[in-house]
Amino acid sequence: MQELEFKILVYLKGELNEKEQHQVEQWVALSDANQQAFNEIEKIYHSSELDTSTINPNVDQAWNAVVSAIDQSKSAGSVMLYRVAAMITVFIGLGILVFQYQNQNGQQIARTLDDEIKKIELADGTVVWLNENTVFTYPKELDEEERVVALEGQAYFDVAKDPNRPFRIVGNQTAVEVLGTSFDFISKDNFANINVTSGRVSFELVEDEEIKVILEKGSQATFKSNQMVKNEEFNDNASSWMTKDFVFKSSPLSVVVEKLSQHFEVKIKVDDAIKNCLITSSFEDKELTEILDTLEAIANIKSEQKGKTIKLTGPGC
């Protein structure tokens, strides 16, 4: 089950559909260890709930409650619990953000779950596509001087041009600022990536705006291991989750298979004899069977599918 901790938290918030609820309950019922982990996550979640009856919720008190709950939960699932605590911290931050702006700007929160892609159109005409397991926070009415939104996950932005109002996306550790452009942005714990498809953007650290890179169309940058790196090579498939288009330029078959497996949620095994075969081809909104047919034609590769597992074989390159 992908993003299990996130799904359990949304389950506890009562915002899963019937199918997703059943998936969580099935996982819990699989073993006593799963049940214990769920109980501890539930304990941490309820210990961290904010009292929103006042205008100034006590963030430190809420976080201390989370830490206290973790200290009392000593089990084999402690790694998961720390990840849950980090997620709850994000939820607390978003909750305060929503509470603070609710009466002023009508702050909104959009969430996506597994296998869900959602399109959001902002008041200024900016269009945002959210990938699965993403949280996007935005004001119902954008500010007259600056347009500010928040992202946890992955989204593609087509920002409406407005020279007088910069558009700023605040992520976990990085932020993006533009006037009008389009790009794919991933913002997760200890990792961020941006691929610019049009215009010009500033990619910077939230805590130190002097650490930044300026990116133009056809460039990308990554933040990981506390380092920000500008990459010369553009990722043609960064937004394939949204466009359903793939572009491969002398890409090893192993790389092609990895991308296809992720997108179509299947397991593809490749014989060693062909895993380094170079593939150059593009696919626009094609089904997996059509892509495999093309690979068979251009690279003499045979495919055999059993359930959700596909095996690729061939004589070699």
Identity of the amino acid at 70: I
Helix (H), strand (E) at residue 47: helix 32-47
- Give per-residue pLDDT as tens, 214-254: 999 999 999 998 889 998 778 888 999 988 899 999 999 99
Give the three-state DSSP class for 157.
strand
Distances from the Cα of 23 to the Cαs of 132, 150, 192, 221, in angstroms? 17, 29, 29, 36
Which band of pLDDT confidence, cut at 50, 70 and 90, is reported for residue 183?
very high
Of 191, 197, 183, nearest to 155 by C-alpha is 183
Are the C-beta atoms of 24 and 7 separated by less than 8 Å? yes
Two tokens, residue 204: 């910077």
Confidence (pLDDT) at 217: 92
The answer for residues whose C-beta is within 8 angstroms of residue 230's C-beta and 6 or more apart is 213, 215, 219, 220, 221
Residue 89: Cβ-neighbour burial (10 angstroms; 0-12, 13-18, 19+): middle
Please check the confidence at residue 172 and state whether its pLDDT lies above 80.
yes
pLDDT for 119 beyond 90: yes
CA distance 102 to 285: 39
Check pLDDT > 60 for residue 89.
Answer: no
Do the domains spanning 107-231 and 244-313 agree at the CATH topology level? no
pLDDT tier at 103, thresholds 50, 70, 90: very low
Q: What is the pLDDT of residue 47?
A: 57
Would you say domain 244-313 falls under CATH 3.40.50.880? Answer: no
The per-residue DSSP string of 72-87 comes to T--STTHHHHHHHHHH
Average pLDDT over residues 22-47: 75
Mean pLDDT, residues 129-151: 89
**Vertex 280 angle, CA 274 and 285, to 5°:** 110
Q: What is the pLDDT of residue 297?
A: 86
Residue 276's contacts (CB-CB under 8 Å, 6 or more residues apart) are 252, 253, 254, 317
Q: Is 192:186 a contact under the CB 8 Å cutoff? A: yes
Spans of all domains in the chain: 4-102, 107-231, 244-313
Neighbours of 281 (CB within 10 A): 16
307 vs 288: CA distance, rounded Å: 14
Domain 107-231 CATH assignment equals 2.160.10.10: no
State the pLDDT confidence band at 264, using cuts at 50, 70 and 90: confident
